[in-house]
Structure 1
């Protein structure tokens, strides 16, 4: 057992977060609270631009809620911390990209955690399921998110049957962006993170803010909010030095230098 269930590593503007809780990287309330603090600090650190979330070992990404803790009395509505379960699902104002690198089994709350990321990469041996139905509970976050991400009838089948599916099927339904050999997964995730980190952070913030808020809005209402600069992130972007730098770099036929301000 490691001293802490969460390991972090900073490389420039990239934060790597590894769930390391043998044997299976299951998340109890205490681990979730730590994850919330990690992702809150990531959100609030101006030097960090993108995060990678993965699991330790080659078998499990995360199976979700620690059922051993549940059997010992931990309630499903326990205090999971500032970001909700796994630190990501309910973290307000997280306007930085997060990549989930699925290195093995991602089921139950582990799959819900992956759904909280912006980009999902999977090892070729990764498998997925929402087996909550078999333990007499509901995959609450997945019930909200999954029918919005993949075809409704497929989402309902996965929720109602709890069946397992592999990385190839996940990619077929658009749940996974890319599949990589297991020994290349983290290299590919880091390469993607470095590419993102080199981009315009204020634009990323505006994109995430718009996508999140517009999900429950009519198209024209969302467009009106954008054009009237009623999104704080959009207003910040349009008034920023980075906005001017982008135009200058295009005119001067050079790569822009993003400062995040």
Structure 2
């Protein structure tokens, strides 16, 4: 699947989605948001896809956030109630059913950083800058940026959102926001390596970890209930039996996702 503003590539069990508007710093217009949402839906509906990698073209910016020119022109930039827009919104809240790895090849501010915050793992270029500067413009990061405290200590989250200051990739790694920082030309390969390691694991166990670890931060009470659900599903599954059998037979497991 491809469009001049976004590219979708299959790499075995992975889907790689590339934002392809480098001339506009990969700003999010209606077409790009719909394309991201459609790719999310396709990945969730394909049992062979085990992870989604999100990256961008060019070396200047991963994403500069909403395309203000498109917004000012009355374009639908993700606000209407369509399946694609709903899927995009779920992505920004970390609620995509498959693991998502962000590969930030360049700067990500405002909505661009909010898009990364919806990813489960993030790899950042060592030359990139990041920030949530909305308060400096009389706004606030209303696309999910205020949930940054789910990933980093509260005091640092407040500092970043209240000042709107930019920070480096190294600082992002230091505070636990990023999983790896690499030279820009190694960002995508590093993200794909993470995705391949995840995709090699039992899909039911991965799904359980993705949901339960996030819930342990956002809704501990619900996490307890869902833990019981996942215990019943995963430990009684054919994949659990296959995992144990493959370990004893010293071979790679063959997962069925059930």
TM over 0.5: yes
CA distance in 2 between partners of 1:223 and 1:78 (Å): 33
Distance 1:156 1:197 in 2: 35
Matches for 1:1-261 after TM superposition, within 5 Å: 3-21=3-21, 22-74=23-75, 78-79=79-80, 81-85=85-89, 88-90=91-93, 94-218=96-220, 222-223=223-224, 225-227=226-228, 229=229, 231=230, 234-261=231-258
Is the Cα contact below 8 Å between 2:106 and 2:129 reproduced in 1?
A: yes
Distance 1:146 1:206 in 2: 22
User: Mind listing any 5+ residue stretches in structure 2 that lack a counterpart?
Assistant: none
Instruction: Provide the secondary structure at the position in 1 that maps to 2:53.
Output: strand
Distance 2:132 2:239 in 1: 42
Report how many aligned residue pairs link the two structures.
253
Q: Distance in 2 between matches of 1:224 and 1:83?
A: 25
Relative distance call for 1:91 and 1:217 in structure 2 (3 A) is closer
Q: Which moved more, 1:189-198 or 1:207-216?
A: 207-216
User: Could you report, residue by residue, the CA deviation over 1:80-127 in whole angstroms, capped at 9, with x for unpaired residues?
Assistant: 712244x612575x2321110000010101100000000000111111
Is the CA contact (8 Å cut-off) linking 2:117 and 2:145 kept in structure 1? no
User: How far off its partner does 1:67 sit?
Assistant: 1.2
CA-atom RMSD in angstroms: 2.3
Kindly tell me: are residues 196 and 143 of structure 1, through their superposed partners in 2, closer, same or farther at Cα, counting changes over 3 Å? closer
Q: Deviations over 1:189-218 (max 9, x none)?
A: 222222222111111111122234443434
Residues of 2 paired with 1:83 and 1:106: CA distance?
Answer: 21
1:53-78, CA deviations, whole angstroms, 9 ceiling, x for partnerless residues? 00101111001111112332457773
User: For 2:52, what is the secondary structure of its paired residue?
Assistant: strand
The TM-score with structure 1 as length reference comes to: 0.87
